[in-house]
Amino acid sequence: MSDAANTERDLTGIRCAVCDDEAMARRRMVRLLTALGSPPVVVAQDADELLEALATTPVDVAFLDIHMPGLSGVDAAQLLPDGCALIFVTAHPEHAVRAFELAALDYVVKPVDPSALRRALSRVPERLVINSKLPIKTRRGVVLVSIADITHALFDGEIVSVCTETATYLTDYALSELEARLPTPPFVRVSRRALLNLDHVELLDPTASGGYEARTVGGALVGVSRQAARKLRRELDV
């Protein structure tokens, strides 16, 4: 496979946010990112709108203009959620040094050149590998748990447990926080008290209530509500 084909494959499905106060600039970024296989899941006209959206819609990378009414892109960069990479897009190249002080992955100058955008976006998959662990505070310190190893998370009414096939961690996370941090798919909210990693499920056993009892490869049982079961059946086409 050619290098170009590899790049095209790697750039597909990256969850992007675009924030720019100029409508024409927003439309251009949406068009260019869509052509690269990663249409933005958040498009905002100012930093406040962006940050509000990111509170409920996790993304892999945010493309920020620097000069905007209200909060600047530099201000917004310091308020991005954990795990969200940053790329500045601006007509003012003199801010490049400040951008990299803020750990921006790249700095793209307007008018955005498609090849420059491709290069910037190609830096994101490597960053995603770095961010593929969930930090969990324990009495021994912060444990970095591989997200791919998490089978499910359960809320018992007081505390949320994050489970792998070999360990269970009591956490300070709310289930809604985990839902925002963990990728969808494979993680799905299967009830008010449970998140489930479908990559670890080997059986969905129907229940009398119209839901499922999901059994993971490691033998754990997780209840799936009737409403979540309907959604799963649509997504799995069963």
pLDDT in tens, 68-109: 989 988 899 989 987 789 999 988 776 666 666 677 888 899
Q: Are residues 18 and 117 in the same domain?
A: yes
Residues 117 and 163 in one domain: no
What is the reported pLDDT for 56? Answer: 84
The DSSP annotation for 83-147 comes to T-EEEEEES-GGGHHHHHHTT-SEEEESSPPHHHHHHHHTTHHHHHHHT-EEEEEETTEEEEEEG
Say if residue 109 is in the same domain as residue 138: no
Instruction: Give tens-digit pLDDT for 117-171.
Output: 999 998 887 777 666 788 888 888 888 899 999 999 999 999 999 999 999 999 9
Residues 6+ apart with CB under 8 A from 27: none
Are 92 and 201 part of one and the same domain? no
Kindly state whether residues 118 and 139 are assigned to the same domain: no
> Into how many domains does the chain fold?
2
Contact 146, 158 (CB under 8 A): no
Q: Convert the pLDDT of each residue in 204-220 to its tens digit.
A: 999 999 999 999 999 99
**Whether 112 and 143 share a structural domain:** no
Does 176 share its domain with 113? no
Which of 113, 129, 145 terminates a domain? The answer is: 129
Q: Which residues contact 67 (CB under 8 A, 6 or more apart)?
A: 21, 73, 90, 91, 92
- Give yes or no for a contact between 137 and 118, defined as CB atoms under 8 angstroms apart: no
Distance of CA 204 to the CA centre of its chain: 26
Residue 149 and residue 43 share a domain = no
| Domain enclosing residue 43, as ranges | 3-129
Q: What angle do CA 216, 218, 223 make, to 5 degrees?
A: 35
CATH of the domain at 186: 2.40.50.1020
In one-letter notation, the amino acid at residue 11 is L
Taking residues 18-30, report their average pLDDT. Answer: 96
Question: Looking at the structure, do residues 151 and 174 belong to the same domain, yes or no?
Answer: yes
Residues 100 and 125 in one domain: yes
37 φψ region: left (φ > 0), alpha (ψ -120 to 50), beta (else): left
Two structure tokens written together for 82: 């954990």
Q: Are residues 7 and 24 in the same domain?
A: yes
The CATH number of residue 73's host domain is 3.40.50.2300
Please determine, for residue 61, whether its predicted confidence score (pLDDT) is greater than 90. Answer: yes
Q: Are residues 45 and 17 in the same domain?
A: yes
For residue 20, what is the enclosing H or E element?
Answer: none
Residue 77 phi/psi, 5-degree rounding, is -60, -30
Of the residues 80, 101, 129, the one at which a domain ends: 129
Mean pLDDT estimate for the chain: 87
Last residue of a domain, which of 103, 129, 155?
129
The overall pTM is greater than 0.85 = no
